[in-house]
Amino acid sequence: MEEIRGVKTLEKEGYYEQCSFVQCNFNSADLSGMRMVNCRFEGCDFSLAKLKNSSLQEVKFVNCKLLGVQFSDCRKFMLEVDFDSCILKLALFSGLKLKNTRFRNCDMQEADFSEADLSGAQFDGSDLLQAIFFHTNLESADFRGAFNYSINPETNRLRKAKFSIPGVTGLLDSYGIIIE
């Protein structure tokens, strides 16, 4: 795997396969049309980066800052991403098929998962404060290690989803009841 360090710009509509990007700054960069296959990003800053028509296949993000990234602008075909210890505040995942995606130890405050397919997804150790779940498929998703989530069971699919106590109280927020 080729390692790339500290780069700010990439080839316009470039193709990168089996590359490892370490401590690169893509803050506000236009990465539209990029094709990334089996790549790893470690310690990179993608805040407000543009990903219009980008292809992310088997892409892993580790310790990355992805503030406000609109993943919904990526190509949907064969989209496969994995996140470990990332900051994903205000990220947009609406309408995406992210079956079995792993979000481990991520700060996902105010992320938008409206109308996404997150069946089988894992959220272990992730903060989902004010994250939006609306008409989201969460069947068999694992929230046992997640916290601060609020999910309305009436507007989302939750069959066989896994929750733990006390986090499960986030399923009752929409009812306005008091739990002590």
pTM of the model: 0.90
15, part of any domain: yes
CA-based nearest residue to 2, from 75, 15, 63: 15
pLDDT at residue number 11: 65
pLDDT at residue number 172: 61
Q: Which domain holds residue 96?
A: 88-180
Domain boundary among 16, 49, 76: 76
Q: Is the confidence at residue 4, as pLDDT, over 80?
A: no
pLDDT at residue number 82: 98
pLDDT at residue number 5: 74
pLDDT at residue number 177: 56
64 and 119 in a single domain? The answer is: no
46 and 131 in a single domain? The answer is: no
Confidence of residue 179 (pLDDT cuts 50, 70, 90): low
DSSP lists the bridge partners of residue 42 as: 22, 62
* Tens-place pLDDT, residues 43-92: 999 999 999 999 999 999 999 999 999 999 999 999 999 999 999 999 99
Angle at the Cα of 135 (from 163 to 130), degrees rounded to 5? 60
113, part of any domain: yes
Instruction: Output the domain CATH number for residue 40.
Output: 2.160.20.80
96 and 172 in a single domain? The answer is: yes
Q: Where are the alpha helices (DSSP H) in 19-163?
A: none
65 and 142 in a single domain? The answer is: no
30, part of any domain: yes
93 and 30 in a single domain? The answer is: no
160 and 180 in a single domain? The answer is: yes
52 and 131 in a single domain? The answer is: no
Domain boundary among 52, 76, 100: 76
33 and 67 in a single domain? The answer is: yes
* Tens-place pLDDT, residues 124-168: 999 999 999 999 999 999 999 999 999 999 999 999 999 988 766
106, part of any domain: yes
Q: What are phi and psi of 103, to 5 degrees?
A: -120, 95
Confidence of residue 178 (pLDDT cuts 50, 70, 90): low
Kindly provide the residue ranges of all beta strands, DSSP E only, lying in 2-140, ordered along the sequence: 2-5, 15-17, 19-22, 35-37, 40-42, 55-57, 59-62, 81-84, 103-104
